[in-house]
Amino acid sequence: MKVAVATVFPDLFSAFLKTGVIGRGLEKGVAAVEVHNIRMHPVDARGSVDDYQFGGGAGMVLRPEPLFETFEDIPWRQGSRVALMTPQGRQLDTEYARELSECGKLIVFCGRYGGVDARFRHEVVTDEICIGDAVVSGGEIPAMYLMEAVFRWLPGMLGRLESARSDSFATGLLDYPRYTRPAEYRGMNVPPELLSGNHALITNWRFRAALERTEEVRPEMLVNTDVKETEKRFAQIMKQADRTKEQDNG
């Protein structure tokens, strides 16, 4: 997958693209990311890329010239999905991230200041994306969030794809509680079901725990949900993960 990120603060991405799962995946060639500096296309001798908005109001706006010219710098731009990180966009969720992972070419523009000139949004942007109902100073951190969410679905990015399939939201529920060794610590014990070795018992416990957590924290996720169908899908995902683990242990 090819990804380009356009920003006025390219240095923010330096550590992100070298770290953890993303860094290892890029090193393996699972995806390729290039960062484009919008400031390379200033509109005056002072290096400006923004200006006051017509009609008045608070907040500077990124001008169309540097936005269009940055986009035109990307040789493989034709046929790409072009995302703008904005509070006015479609909410990013697991299915949307998975959809974007299949597009092959993705260009991400990071908004700043009071936003971007609407002509660029109308002519170039295909996807306006929001990661949550809170406003931050720019689209850089949301863009990193987007890449994390999208890249998890690329084969070879994670140790095994089932890790993404069984994450929170991918099953239709929040994640179940997870435990590791030791089985007893300071009087706190791991649930006995998880120590039983009985896969059916473990899956049932995990489903019930995930359902309980979702009901408590995100009840809106369960509106119009068929719990029986969700349980069946959950069991299938757990079975796939177990099979892959056995193959990995080989």
pLDDT beyond 70 at 150: yes
pLDDT tens string 227-236: 999 999 999 9
Q: Which run of H or E residues covers position 106? A: strand 105-110
Establish whether the linkage from the previous residue to 182 is cis, with ω within 30° of 0: yes
Classified by CATH at the fold level, domain 2-151 comes out as: Alpha/beta knot (3.40.1280)
Report DSSP state, residue 221: G
Residue 137 near residue 12 (C-beta atoms within 8 A): no
3-state secondary structure (DSSP) of residue 189: strand
> Which architecture characterizes domain 162-249 according to CATH?
Orthogonal Bundle (1.10)
Q: Are 91 and 37 in contact (CB under 8 A)?
A: no
Would you place residue 171 in the very low, low, confident or very high pLDDT band (cuts 50, 70, 90)? confident
Residue 167 clears pLDDT 80, i.e. is over it: no
- 33 pLDDT above the threshold of 50: yes
pLDDT on residue 30: 96
**Span 237-249, pLDDT tens digits:** 888 877 766 665 5
- pLDDT score for 42: 98
Please state, in angstroms and rounded to a whole number, the distance separating the CA atoms of residues 145 and 161: 19
CB 201 within 8 A of CB 238: no
Instruction: Assess whether pLDDT exceeds 50 at residue 115.
Output: yes
When pLDDT is averaged across residues 32-46 and rounded to a whole number, the result is: 98
Amino acid sitting at position 206: R
Among candidate residues 97, 72, 75, 5, the one with its CA nearest the CA of residue 17 = 5
| Average pLDDT over all residues of the chain | 93
Q: How far does CA 101 lie from the centroid of its chain?
A: 10
User: Is the peptide bond preceding residue 192 cis, with omega within 30 degrees of 0?
Assistant: no
pLDDT tens, position by position, 193-206: 999 999 999 999 99
Report DSSP state, residue 91. E
User: What are phi and psi for residue 19, nearest 5 degrees?
Assistant: -115, 140
pLDDT > 80? residue 169: no
CATH 3.40.1280.10 positions along the chain are: 2-151
Confidence of residue 162 (pLDDT cuts 50, 70, 90): very low
- Tokens describing residue 172: 């239709």
pLDDT of 166 > 90? The answer is no
Give yes or no for residue 250 having a pLDDT over 70.
Answer: no
State the pLDDT confidence band at 29, using cuts at 50, 70 and 90.
very high
What DSSP line would sit under 36-101, residue for residue? EEGGGS-SSTT---EEPPTT--SS-EE-HHHHHHHHHT-TT-TT-EEEEEEEEEEEP-HHHHHHHH
Considering the chain, tell me which residue range(s) the CATH 1.10.1270.20 domain(s) occupy.
162-249
In degrees and rounded to multiples of 5, residue 226 shows phi and psi of -85, 105
Q: What token pair was written down for 61?
A: 């706006």
